[in-house]
Amino acid sequence: MPLARLIPCLDVSHGRVVKGVSFVGLRDVGDPVELAKFYSDGGADELVFLDISATPDDAVTMTAVVAQVADVLEIPFTVGGGVRSVADATRIIESGADRVSLNSAALADPALITAIADRYGSQAVVVAIDAGDGVVHTHGGRVATATPTIPWAVEAAERGAGEILLTSIRCDGQRMGFDLDLTRAVRDAVSIPVIASGGAGSAAHVAAALRVADAALVASIVHENPAGLPGLRREIESLGIKLRPLKERR
Amino acid sequence: MSDVIVVDYGAGNTRSVCAALTHLGHTSAVSGDPRDIANAELLILPGVGSARSAMEHLTLTGAAAALRARFDEQRPMLGICLGMQLAMQSSEEDGGVEGLGLLEGHVRRLTTGRVPRLGWAMVDPWDDAYYFAHSYACESSDAIATSDSITAAVQHGSFLGVQFHPEKSGDAGLSFLDQCLSRA
């Protein structure tokens, strides 16, 4: 089995990183390219960029960001937000992203999962599920749908998703730990890998999530102190989770 | 002229491979032209996409014939992920696809663990972790490295193939590419 992965998530709006990155060591904390490189150097296993503005105008901006990130990053990255068609996926993957993440667009048109997987392979398609009270939510978790979480995860996998990015709405932003029961239930129901998301407040929380999931998404815990990423990794490893060994910087 | 040609076959992420080469101080170009394939100092067959459409594209453009000729002339080639799998005799993907047949071996769907197999994994005997993203793997007598008992690298004649993505494997991947380039 591959090693557990630690994945910082960057929210991007109009081409700039938003939400709580506070760090004096960076020249420009709003620059997705600089922050991506910083996290990559700090030992991130992968990155996720979420375009939270995602209006048609922003698609052009985001594509440019993806290309710039691809030119400096030597770790994989996923782009979500605003992927609503195969053409959107093509634009993002051919600009250098490894994977696209689909959320409400996949719910509205599940065939989109298959169409992108057929072209780029399952490993290129992540289906993001915002889950709460047993059902899938849309609009950043604000609107409950009638779709139950676990059957949707199973359907997404059957249609060709290569990974589930599972966010617990209840835990997200609380920093009190991940929803381990939800994560376990979804992971048990599918045979594709699952990224746990929502609730990371400490190394112990992340380690607990990595015992039930294949990867953990982290946001504020790293954004409030980007230089603390190597230390966070060491702490997670000291709790018995095996992460990839980092080479000496050349 | 560019010293590395990254083969274009209609799908996939050639940009990251070129970026890694630039980082290592090499010039590269993306091309599917049989003449470029014949003349390149080092040829990289990258990987993403489906085996069937990749083989159809390579055959139609004459690239497949150029790749076989290059192999017969013992000129260096590196296959990455699907690019490695295409060098085999056949693949189970897409209901069965005939490969380039440069190496003896077949590509089969993974049957153990979570599929797709995603993430960093240790490679034996190289003792380093590299990034993998695949649902199929090679079974070949030319295997020279493994990862969780799955073929991680094959070598035969002038062809070296890796299942992982060196262009996405951080410093370990860059070191690997650097070695390939210095040997080419």
User: pLDDT (tens digit, 9 = 90+) per residue, A77-87?
Assistant: 999 988 999 99
Is residue B83 scored above 90 in pLDDT? yes
**Comparison of pLDDT for A244 and B184, the residue scoring more:** A244
B167 catalytically annotated: yes
Q: Which residue has the higher pLDDT, B14 or B71?
A: B71
pTM score, whole prediction:
0.95
pLDDT reading at A249 higher than 60: no
| Residue-wise pLDDT tens digits, B93-126 | 989 999 999 999 999 999 999 999 999 999 999 9
Over residues B159-184, the mean pLDDT reads 94
Q: Is residue A58 over pLDDT 80?
A: no
Q: What is the pLDDT of residue B50?
A: 84
The rounded distance, in Å, linking the Cα atoms of B145 and B65 is: 28
CB contact under 8 A, B118 and A93: no
Decide if B148 contacts A243 (C-beta within 8 A): no
Mean pLDDT of B8-37: 90
Query: How distant is the Cα of B69 from the closest Cα of chain A, in angstroms?
Result: 28
Quick one: closest CA in A to B132, which residue? A2
ipTM of this model?
Answer: 0.94
Nearest to B121 among A3, A40, A118 (CB): A3
Size of interface A-B (CB pairs under 8 A): 122
Put simply, the answer to whether B114 touches A75 (Cβ < 8 Å) is no
Q: How far B147 CA lies from chain A's nearest CA (Å)?
A: 9
Hey, is the C-beta of A91 within 8 angstroms of any chain B C-beta?
A: no
Interface residue B171 vs chain A (CB under 8 A)? yes
What distance in Å separates the CA atoms of residue A85 and residue A14, rounded to the nearest whole number?
Answer: 20
The answer for residues whose C-beta is within 8 angstroms of residue B28's C-beta and 6 or more apart is B2, B3, B4, B5, B6, B17, B18, B21, B22, B44
Residues A113 and A86: their CA atoms lie apart, in Å, by: 9
Q: Hey, what amino acid is at A66?
A: V
Each residue's pLDDT tens digit, A141-171 = 889 999 999 999 999 999 999 999 999 999 9
CB–CB contact B13 A75 (8 Å): no
Q: Would you call A123 an interface residue with chain B, using a CB distance cutoff of 8 Å?
A: yes
Chain centroid to CA A153: 16
Torsion of CA A95, A100, A105, A107, to 10 degrees: 160
Helices (H), chain A: 32-41, 56-72, 86-94, 104-108, 111-120, 149-158, 180-189, 203-212, 220-223, 229-238
Q: A-chain residues within 8 Å CB-CB of B167? A: 74
What are the Cα distances from residue A134, in Å, to A141, A182, A204, B45? 13, 9, 26, 45
Decide: A134 and A170 in contact? Cβ < 8 Å. Answer: no
Which residues of A are the active-site residues? 11, 130
Q: What is the pLDDT of residue B64?
A: 97
Check whether B49 has a pLDDT greater than 90: no
The shortest C-alpha distance from A83 to chain B (Å) reads 17
What local confidence, expressed as pLDDT, does residue B13 receive?
73
| Residue B122 CA to its chain's centroid (Å) | 18
B129 interfacial to chain A (CB closer than 8 Å): yes
Task: Point out the least confidently predicted range of A219-223, B161-165, B180-184.
Answer: B180-184
Residue A21 has pLDDT above 60, yes or no: no
Average pLDDT on A38-42 reads 94
Q: Is A38 on the interface with B (CB under 8 A)?
A: no
Task: Inform me whether the C-beta atom of residue A189 falls under 8 Å from chain B C-beta atoms.
Answer: no
For residue A247, pLDDT over 90 is answered with: no
Instruction: Work out the average pLDDT over A58-76.
Output: 91
Mark yes or no for CB contact B171/A215 under 8 Å: no
Query: Searching chain B, which residue's CA lies closest to the CA of residue A5?
Result: B119
Give the residue from chain B lying closest to A43, CA to CA: B170
Q: What is the pLDDT of residue B90?
A: 97
- The arithmetic mean of pLDDT across residues B39-48, rounded, is 92
Minimal C-alpha gap between B72 and chain A (Å): 30
Average pLDDT value for residue range B142-162 = 97
Instruction: Nearest chain B residue to A119 by CA: give it.
Output: B49
Contact B120 A5 (CB under 8 A): yes
Q: How many CB atoms lie within 10 A of CB B65?
A: 15
Q: Among all residues of chain A, which has the CA nearest to that of B51?
A: A121
Distance between CA atoms of residues B77 and B7, nearest Å: 11
Nearest residue in A to B177, CA atom: A74
CA-based nearest residue to A196, from A9, A2, A43: A9
Q: Does A188 touch chain B (CB under 8 A)?
A: no
A193 touches chain B (CB under 8 A): yes
The answer for B 137-166 residues in CB contact with A (under 8 A) is 148, 165
- So what's the pLDDT on residue A102? 97
- Residues from chain B that touch A45, judged by Cβ atoms under 8 A, are 119-120
Which CATH number is B3-183's, of 1.20.1250.20, 3.40.50.880, 3.20.20.450, 3.40.50.720?
Answer: 3.40.50.880
Question: Could you tell me the residue ranges of all domains in chain B?
Answer: 3-183
Q: Do A249 and B15 touch (CB under 8 A)?
A: no
**Where does the pLDDT of residue A250 fall: very low under 50, low under 70, confident under 90, or very high at 90 and above?**
very low
